[in-house]
C-alpha cells in the first residue's frame, strides 16, 4: 500500500519539531521559519546571492505542479492523482478529482494554473493523463474550489490521439496576457515522428481560449490540414514554459534524447525540428540523432544545455528580494538535481550558474511566489515545497 493511503484529508504541512528558529535575518529579506516549516540548508552559496532553503510543506508524493492563489495560498499537484490546497501551514487534499486519471510511469496529475481573473471567475486549470492502463491522452480540465472540494469540473480539451501510457505528456500550462492559455503536449515517446504531423497534437505547444475553444488568430486556424489548436510543433517534451512578464515572449525548455536539452524562444507556427533534427545523440548508438543538428526551416535552440539537465520547471526572477538575479531565468533540472540560472541578453545566453545542486534531489518545478520568493518542488516520493530565502 502506498504511503498516501495513510494520509489524512487535512494535515499539518510539517511536524512542530521541524521548526528551526534563527536570529540571523538580513534586513527582513529572510523570513522567520514558522512552526510548520523546516530549514533544510541554512546557507547555500552562489555567485551573487547566498540563500537558505526552507521546507514549506512536506509529505507530498511526487509533487509536479505549483500555482498560487491571489491570497498567497498554494495549489500543489501530486502525480499519483491529488490536488492539494496549502494554506497557513496546512495541506488539504481536494475532493472531486476526475476518476479517469491514470497514474503510471510519467503520467498522472500534472501541471496546474490559476486563471488571471480568478478573483472574478474562480477558475483553476489542471492537466492530467486520462484513459486506461492500455492507453492515455493528455487532458485539460478547469474547475472551481468550494471549501475542500472541486466543483464545476469541466474537461475542456483532450489530445486527439491516445497512446500507450507512460512517457512524454508535456502538460505545462501558462496564460498569455490576452487571456489565452498555452499547453504543451509531448511526443508520447513511442512514435517521435508524430511531432512533425500537423494532424496530431503530440509534440506541440497549443494555444486555447480559457474555455478550451480555438482562438481565431492561431497560426494554423485557416488551414484545414492542421489541427487549429497548434501554436508550434516539432517539440519532444516541453516541461518548462513561461511567458515573459515584460516582453510577453514565450520561452520553453525541452528534453532532448541523450543530450540535446534545449532552451527555445517560441514563434507562432514555427517548427522546432524534433525528430528530424536534434542536438542530441541516439541512446543506443551514440550517433547523431536524425538528419543532423540543424535544418533550414526548423528553428535552432537558443541554448543547448551541456551536460544534460533534463529540464523541468521554469521561472523568471522578479521583485526586489534577489536584485543580482533580477530578470534571470531559473530552469529546474531533474537528472541534474539543480536549478540552472541563465542570463539572457538579446536572445543570447551570456552566463549560466548551477544553483542548489543535489540539495533537494530532482527539481520538478520552479515558481516566483506573490511574496517575491523563489519556490521549488522536488520530485520525490516524500517530496515537498521549498522556499529559497536570500541571506
Q: pLDDT tens for residues 149-182?
A: 999 999 999 999 999 878 999 999 999 999 999 9
pLDDT at 15: 35
Predicted local distance difference test score (pLDDT) of residue 289: 87
The model's pLDDT over 286-300, given as tens digits with 9 standing for 90+, comes to 888 899 999 999 999
How do residues 273-282 score in pLDDT, each as one tens digit?
999 999 999 8
Average pLDDT of the segment spanning 301-322: 95
pLDDT for the residue numbered 349: 97
pLDDT at position 179 is 98
Q: Domains of the chain (ranges plus CATH)?
A: 3-390 (2.120.10.30)
The answer to whether 58 touches 14, Cβ cutoff 8 Å, is yes
d(CA 248, CA 155): 28
Tell me, yes or no, if 168 is annotated catalytic: yes
C-alpha span between 14 and 328 (Å, rounded): 31
Q: Which residue has the higher pLDDT, 28 or 71?
A: 71
Decide: 35 and 20 in contact? Cβ < 8 Å: no
Give CA angle at 82 (79, 85), nearest 5°. Answer: 120
The pTM of the full predicted model, rounded to 2 decimals, is 0.92
User: What pLDDT sits at residue 282?
Assistant: 87
Question: DSSP states of 246-302 as a string?
Answer: TT--EEEEE--SBS--EEEEE-TT-B--TTTS-SSB-TTT-PBPTT-S--TTSPPPS
Q: What is the mean pLDDT of residues 138-150?
A: 97
- pLDDT number for residue 192: 94
pLDDT, position 30: 57
| pLDDT confidence of residue 73 | 97
- Model confidence band, residue 382 (pLDDT cutoffs 50, 70, 90): very high
pLDDT over 70 percentage in the chain: 91
Q: Which of 93, 13, 57, 71 is nearest to 387 (CA)?
A: 57
| Catalytic, out of 36, 49, 115, 168 | 168
- 63-68 and 230-233 strand pairing: unpaired
Amino acid at each position: 500500500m502506498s504511503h498516501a493511503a495513510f494520509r489524512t484529508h487535512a494535515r499539518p504541512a510539517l511536524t512542530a519539531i521541524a521548526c528551526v528558529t534563527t536570529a540571523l535575518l538580513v534586513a527582513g529579506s529572510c523570513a522567520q521559519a514558522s512552526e510548520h516549516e523546516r530549514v533544510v540548508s541554512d546557507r547555500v552559496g552562489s555567485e551573487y546571492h547566498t540563500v537558505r532553503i526552507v521546507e514549506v510543506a512536506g509529505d507530498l508524493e511526487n509533487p509536479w505542479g505549483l500555482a498560487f492563489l491571489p491570497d498567497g495560498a498554494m495549489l500543489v499537484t501530486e502525480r499519483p492523482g491529488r490536488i492539494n490546497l496549502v494554506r497557513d501551514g496546512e495541506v488539504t487534499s481536494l475532493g472531486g478529482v476526475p476518476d479517469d486519471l491514470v497514474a503510471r510511469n510519467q503520467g498522472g496529475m500534472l501541471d496546474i494554473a490559476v486563471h488571471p481573473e480568478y478573483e472574478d471567475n474562480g477558475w483553476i486549470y489542471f492537466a492530467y493523463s486520462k484513459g486506461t492502463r492500455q492507453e492515455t491522452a493528455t487532458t485539460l480540465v478547469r474547475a472551481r474550489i468550494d471549501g475542500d472540494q472541486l466543483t464545476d469540473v469541466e474537461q475542456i480539451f483532450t489530445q486527439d490521439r491516445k497512446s500507450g501510457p507512460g512517457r512524454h505528456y508535456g502538460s505545462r500550462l501558462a496564460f498569455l496576457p490576452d487571456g489565452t492559455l498555452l499547453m504543451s503536449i509531448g511526443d508520447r515517446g513511442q512514435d517521435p515522428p508524430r511531432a512533425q504531423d500537423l494532424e496530431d497534437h503530440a509534440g506541440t505547444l497549443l494555444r486555447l481560449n480559457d474555455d478550451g475553444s480555438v482562438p481565431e488568430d492561431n497560426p494554423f486556424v485557416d488551414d484545414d490540414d492542421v489541427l487549429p489548436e497548434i501554436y508550434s510543433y516539432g517539440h519532444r517534451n516541453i516541461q518548462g514554459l513561461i511567458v515573459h512578464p515584460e516582453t510577453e515572449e514565450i520561452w520553453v525548455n525541452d528534453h532532448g534524447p541523450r543530450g540535446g536539452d534545449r532552451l527555445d524562444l517560441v514563434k507562432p507556427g514555427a517548427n522546432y525540428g524534433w525528430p528530424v533534427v536534434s542536438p542530441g545523440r541516439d541512446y543506443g548508438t551514440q550517433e547523431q540523432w536524425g538528419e543532423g543538428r540543424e535544418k533550414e526551416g526548423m528553428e535552432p535552440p537558443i541554448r543547448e544545455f551541456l551536460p544534460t539537465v533534463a529540464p523541468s520547471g521554469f521561472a523568471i526572477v522578479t521583485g526586489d528580494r534577489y536584485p543580482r538575479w533580477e530578470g534571470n531565468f531559473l530552469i529546474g533540472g531533474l537528472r541534474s538535481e539543480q536549478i540552472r540560472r541563465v542570463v539572457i541578453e538579446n536572445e543570447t545566453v551570456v552566463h549560466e550558474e548551477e544553483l542548489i545542486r543535489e540539495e533537494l534531489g530532482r527539481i520538478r518545478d520552479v515558481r516566483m511566489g506573490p511574496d517575491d520568493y523563489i519556490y521549488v518542488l522536488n520530485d520525490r516520493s516524500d517530496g515537498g515545497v521549498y522556499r529559497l530565502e536570500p541571506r
